Amino acid sequence: MDHTTHSPMQLNILGAGCASCVGKIEKAINSVQGVDSAEMNFADRTVLVTGKASAELIIKAVESAGYNATQIQAESAEDAMNEKEQADLQHYKSLLRHTFIALSVGIPLMIYGLFIGEMTVSTLSEQVVWGLVGVMTLAIMLISGRHFYIGAWKSFLNHNANMDTLIALGTGTAWVYSMLIVAFPQLFPEMARHVYFEATAMIIGLINLGLALEVKARGKTSEAIKRLIGLQAKTARVIRDGKDLDIDIAHVLLNDHVRVRPGEKIPVDGVVIEGNSTIDESMLTGEPMPVEKVLGDDVVTGTLNKSGSIIFKATRVGKDTALARIISMVKRAQNSKPPIGRLADVIAAYFVPAIMIIAIVSAMVWFNFGPEPSSVFAIVSATTVLIIACPCALGLATPMSVMVGVGKAAESGVLIRNGEALQTASKITAMILDKTGTITEGKPQVTDIILVNADSEEQVLALSAGIESHSEHPLAQAIVESAHARGIDAINTEHFTAISGKGVEAEVDGQILLFGNKKLMQDKHIDIGLHEAKAQILAEEAKTPMYLALAGKLLAIIAVSDPIKPDSIEAIARLKRSGIKVIMLTGDNKATAAAVAKKVGIDDFFAEVMPEDKANKVAELQQQNEVVGMTGDGINDAPALALADVGFAIGTGTDVAIESADITLMRGSLHGLADAIAISKATLRNIKQNLFGAFIYNVAGIPLAAGVLFPVFGILLNPVIAGAAMAFSSLTVVSNANRLRLFKAKEH
Amino acid sequence: MLINLLCIALIGFIIWWFWLYKPSNETKVDASTSILVKDGVYSPARIKIAANTPTEITFLRQDKSGCSATVLLPDLEISQDLALDKPTTIALPALEKGEYPFHCQMQMYKGVLIVE
């Protein structure tokens, strides 16, 4: 059976400058096999295609006609969300309707049975009356409980057993037993002629009510996604053929020039090509301060343009924008399960058939050893076991908490990749922090130049900028920028070589120029002699001293300092307060590392670590049975991030390594790290509460329903009570998960 | 006695039907195959696909229940929202031979991909 539907496809057409192109394009598309019709709208350069042909074939046909085409993703995330909300609302209303119908019969019957008369069948008139009630109950089963019975039957045919199976069996057993009494009362002893139509109607009503309330509560768990989707602008002002056009963001193309005025949202990702402004990126990064954007800077979808008017070139559109990728990642993570949920999954897989067996065994025990009327006790206990044992709460316990926890984290600018990362983050015992760019700003500045054999600071900067202009290292950029700021031209150097973890080497007029740390000087036999003490003093001031040598002679020492981020100290204290061992890792020299570590309150640090050794440090800690978190900028720390139990990539704004790390911190602040760990701990606590609630409920509920308390206390659970308890168990789990939404990371 | 025998037979049937029996209603995936999500089940629930070949499977959800809204393939780390009354296609990477179960969030809907 083919259930695939072929909804119309919309394409953007590029390069169609004249009205006569319309016929040509339509003809090209219509020639594709499987296309039923193609209609082009020349005004907005789109074409609507119906039929079964694939988008690729249609685009190829357009291209062969001399134009370009891209498929428009017809359904925006917001539309999809709205559709889902509408569907949920309709489902909620229909469940409430079913509840009302079932309870309007069940409640009066229950009141009658409790306070007014006996629900027994002995006389012909009672047979007629209860027969009519039985037919009415059957109608309720078919109207309000239809979905349970169809689901149960279909599952049965597929060798599956689920929640529907238990409800169908429980209510079905109660009804069939009651109808047998109505039809053949003489077959049962007098005291066993009790009917249970009220139980059937009440159970169907209560379970529908429970499902309705669950649908309502579930809606709240996706608030975070709704907020992220809400950041998206609906239209964009693109400049085409010199004119400003307001178009739907779905129609914005790569390289389109987009104009954004003050107070407007950035509609797609891009690079500023005209004007400057400040942009509030707090909705994505959590950074409160607006960021200044000038020519060449990146702008991100969903952020708010504050002060100036800018024009930017679209670099990522549609589902490729940073915001769309974040939404899709959060959605994926929300639906993933942490390892803690696997036990519940395994149990759920065997649960329902096991409960059916328990119900039968329970009925057999009552039938053979129970008091009279033993058949009634057998039916009641089997029905109650079936009804109370629904595994919904068990199945919901983990996903609901993960959904809220991951969403909550996203709101704080923390992107969690999956449930496993969420769980492991809560167990971290040791956190390794890379120094540059993680604890510090990652924007070093030249602070001192100590001349040794050089003539002037200008000469030193010209040479050092000449050699460092070839390097990508942040310290190198500081040197080049310092020279540039003082108007000094870099001297041309040749044969540049980077010596990993030590420095750089090049040639100037045939002479060897070296720039790097003490190790480099020692390797190249440069005498740094007494000047090492000066370097040591600089290092103790948390500066990084570097030596410049030409033709075997030390010319100067240049110190560079990378300012510590303003909130690093507080965030590290938060991590330590939560019992995590914080360790700093840096390629910098020991004295500088010690000074920075002391300033930020870190006791353990590893200095002069080569980039390739970072992963070894992670492994070392893991061998000491530590659960290791590694935080870095996601590029040179990649091996260590991958090896760590949880890799945290610090990505500020647009440069997020969304897909690469276990957890991505959208803002530069280490508070994001402490928030991520606090949220993961809170989520795991919530999952455990849910699992405990669900397990205890089944562990205690099933024996109670089977009647273990009866021999001593004479207590046997009423199936209606079991129905109510079951209906509200999953609601309890969903509500507890929703409690996570109130969690505030910073207060902990 | 008869009741007891019936009960034991019923237990035997449950064990065989739900745990031991391997249903054979498998469907080989081709370009037009889709899985209907309706009334508490995936139909078909057992899908046969070729090993080492990327494949696409399409789900058409016609069930309003919240549980059916997401399909999970835990072994492949795939979790996909299914829109109501609209086909949702999932691209599967080339897979090694084996069985890959898929299910909804609460494991009420269950199916298996058989890669041969």
Which chain B residues touch A1 with a CB distance below 8 Å? 36
CB A290 within 8 A of CB A646: no
According to the model, what pLDDT value does residue A3 have? 36
Q: Which residue of A has its CA nearest to B110?
A: A160
CB A617 within 8 A of CB A432: yes
H or E segment at A107?
helix A77-111
Spatial distance between the Cα atoms of A575 and A428, rounded to a whole number of angstroms? 10
Q: How would residue A676 be classed by pLDDT, with cut points 50, 70 and 90?
A: very high
Spatial distance between the Cα atoms of A599 and A440, rounded to a whole number of angstroms? 11
Q: What SS3 class is residue A118?
A: coil
H or E segment at A538?
helix A531-540
Which chain B residues touch A367 with a CB distance below 8 Å? 3-4
Closest partner CB to B87 (pick from A4, A391, A399): A4
Which chain B residues touch A155 with a CB distance below 8 Å? 40-41
Cβ density class A429-450: b for 16+ within 10 Å, e for less:
ebbbbbbbbbbbbbebbbbbbb
Residue B84 to residue A164, Cβ atoms within 8 A: no
Residue B19 to residue A90, Cβ atoms within 8 A: no
* pLDDT above 70: residue B113: yes
Cβ density class A92-129: b for 16+ within 10 Å, e for less:
bebbbebbebbbebbeebbeebeeeeebbbeeeebbee
Domain boundaries, chain B: 25-115
pLDDT tens, residue by residue, A300-309: 898 889 888 8
**Of the given ranges (A46-50, A137-141, A366-370, A657-661), which has the lowest mean pLDDT?**
A657-661
Interface test with B, best of A75, A84, A160 (most B CBs within 10 A): A160
Q: How would residue A4 be classed by pLDDT, with cut points 50, 70 and 90?
A: very low
* pLDDT above 90: residue B109: no
Mean per-residue pLDDT, A356-371: 91
Closest partner CB to B64 (pick from A87, A154, A363): A87
Q: Which residue of B has its CA nearest to A418?
A: B77
Residue A88 to residue B74, Cβ atoms within 8 A: no
Spatial distance between the Cα atoms of A288 and A278, rounded to a whole number of angstroms? 12
Closest partner CB to B108 (pick from A163, A218, A350): A163
Domains of chain A: 9-73 (3.30.70.100), 76-221 (no CATH), 253-316 (2.70.150.10), 322-413+679-747 (no CATH), 414-441+564-678 (3.40.50.1000), 445-561 (3.40.1110.10)
Closest partner CB to A345 (pick from B42, B107, B109): B107
Closest partner CB to B4 (pick from A94, A158, A364): A364
**Of the given ranges (A58-67, A135-144, A396-405, A448-457), which has the lowest mean pLDDT?**
A58-67
**Closest listed residue to residue A319, CA positions, set A307, A309, A327, A310:** A327
State percent of chain A over pLDDT 90: 24
Which chain A residues touch B81 with a CB distance below 8 Å? 331, 335
Interface test with B, best of A2, A222, A330, A335 (most B CBs within 10 A): A335
Q: Which residue of B has its CA nearest to A363?
A: B7
Spatial distance between the Cα atoms of B93 and B113, rounded to a whole number of angstroms? 13
Written as six digits, the tokens of A569 are 């100290």
Mean pLDDT score across all residues of chain A: 84
Which chain B residues touch A357 with a CB distance below 8 Å? 11, 14-15
Interface test with A, best of B108, B109, B112 (most A CBs within 10 A): B108
Residue with the bigger pLDDT between A471 and B18: it is B18
Q: Which residue of B has its CA nearest to A81?
A: B83
Side chain identity at residue A566, one-letter code:
P
CATH class (in words) of the domain with range B25-115? mainly beta
pLDDT tens, residue by residue, A66-84: 777 777 654 566 777 777 7
ipTM: 0.80
Closest partner CB to B41 (pick from A7, A160, A399): A160
Written as six digits, the tokens of A221 are 């768990």
Q: What SS3 class is residue A602?
A: coil
**Closest listed residue to residue A199, CA positions, set A380, A360, A375:** A380
**Of the given ranges (A42-46, A159-163, A477-481, A725-729), which has the lowest mean pLDDT?**
A42-46
According to the model, what pLDDT value does residue A179 have? 93
Written as six digits, the tokens of B11 are 């237990």
Q: Which residue of A has its CA nearest to B14?
A: A353
Which chain A residues touch B60 with a CB distance below 8 Å? 3-5
Side chain identity at residue B79, one-letter code:
S
Which chain B residues touch A7 with a CB distance below 8 Å? 86
0.80 exceeded by pTM: no
Residue A345 to residue B14, Cβ atoms within 8 A: no
According to the model, what pLDDT value does residue A652 have? 57
Closest partner CB to B83 (pick from A80, A155, A350): A80
Residue B64 to residue A91, Cβ atoms within 8 A: yes
Mean per-residue pLDDT, B56-69: 84
Residue A158 to residue B79, Cβ atoms within 8 A: no
According to the model, what pLDDT value does residue A634 have? 59
Number of A to B CB contacts under 8 A, please give it.
133
Closest partner CB to A215 (pick from B18, B66, B81): B66
* Max mean pLDDT range (A34-38, A42-46, A422-426, B91-95): A422-426
CA distances from residue A164 to A23, B16, B78, B94 in whole angstroms, order as listed = 56, 20, 26, 35
Which chain B residues touch A78 with a CB distance below 8 Å? none
The 10 Å Cβ neighbour count of residue B16 is: 11
pLDDT tens, residue by residue, A227-249: 888 888 888 999 988 888 888 88
Closest partner CB to B58 (pick from A4, A161, A399): A4
DSSP string, A659-692: TTSSEEESSS-THHHHHHHHHHHHHHHHHHHHHH
* pLDDT above 90: residue A576: yes
**Closest listed residue to residue A538, CA positions, set A447, A441, A603, A442:** A447
* Max mean pLDDT range (A246-250, A394-398, A673-677): A673-677
* pLDDT above 50: residue A544: yes
Mean per-residue pLDDT, A98-107: 94
Q: How would residue A5 be classed by pLDDT, with cut points 50, 70 and 90?
A: very low
Interface test with A, best of B19, B36, B106, B112 (most A CBs within 10 A): B106
Contacts of A66 (CB under 8 A, 6+ apart): A15, A24
Interface test with B, best of A146, A159, A221 (most B CBs within 10 A): A159
Residue A395 to residue B107, Cβ atoms within 8 A: yes
Q: Which residue of B has its CA nearest to A88?
A: B64
According to the model, what pLDDT value does residue A2 have? 37
CA A240, A246, A248, A254 torsion-angle sign: positive
Q: How would residue A328 be classed by pLDDT, with cut points 50, 70 and 90?
A: confident
Instruction: Tell me which residues of A are annotated as active site.
Output: 434
Q: Which residue of B has its CA nearest to A154?
A: B41
* pLDDT above 50: residue A747: no
According to the model, what pLDDT value does residue A43 have? 56
**Closest listed residue to residue A80, CA positions, set A232, A217, A218, A214:** A232
Spatial distance between the Cα atoms of A147 and A161, rounded to a whole number of angstroms? 15
* pLDDT above 70: residue A656: no
Backbone angles phi, psi at A295, to 5 degrees: -45, 130
Q: Measure B51 CA to nearest chain A CA, in Å.
A: 23
Q: How would residue A1 be classed by pLDDT, with cut points 50, 70 and 90?
A: very low
Spatial distance between the Cα atoms of A677 and A578, rounded to a whole number of angstroms? 9
Contacts of A111 (CB under 8 A, 6+ apart): none
Q: Measure B18 CA to nearest chain A CA, in Å.
A: 5
* pLDDT above 80: residue A650: yes
Q: Measure B11 CA to nearest chain A CA, in Å.
A: 6
* Max mean pLDDT range (A429-433, A453-457, A536-540): A429-433
Residue A363 to residue B83, Cβ atoms within 8 A: no
Which chain A residues touch B64 with a CB distance below 8 Å? 87, 90-91, 94
Residue A152 to residue B40, Cβ atoms within 8 A: yes
Residue B106 to residue A356, Cβ atoms within 8 A: no
Q: Measure B93 CA to nearest chain A CA, in Å.
A: 17
Interface test with A, best of B16, B25, B37, B79 (most A CBs within 10 A): B79
H or E segment at B5?
helix B2-14
Sheet holding A291-293, edge to edge: A291-293, A277-280, A304-305
Q: Measure B49 CA to nearest chain A CA, in Å.
A: 17
Which chain B residues touch A91 with a CB distance below 8 Å? 64-66
Q: Measure A206 CA to nearest chain B CA, in Å.
A: 16
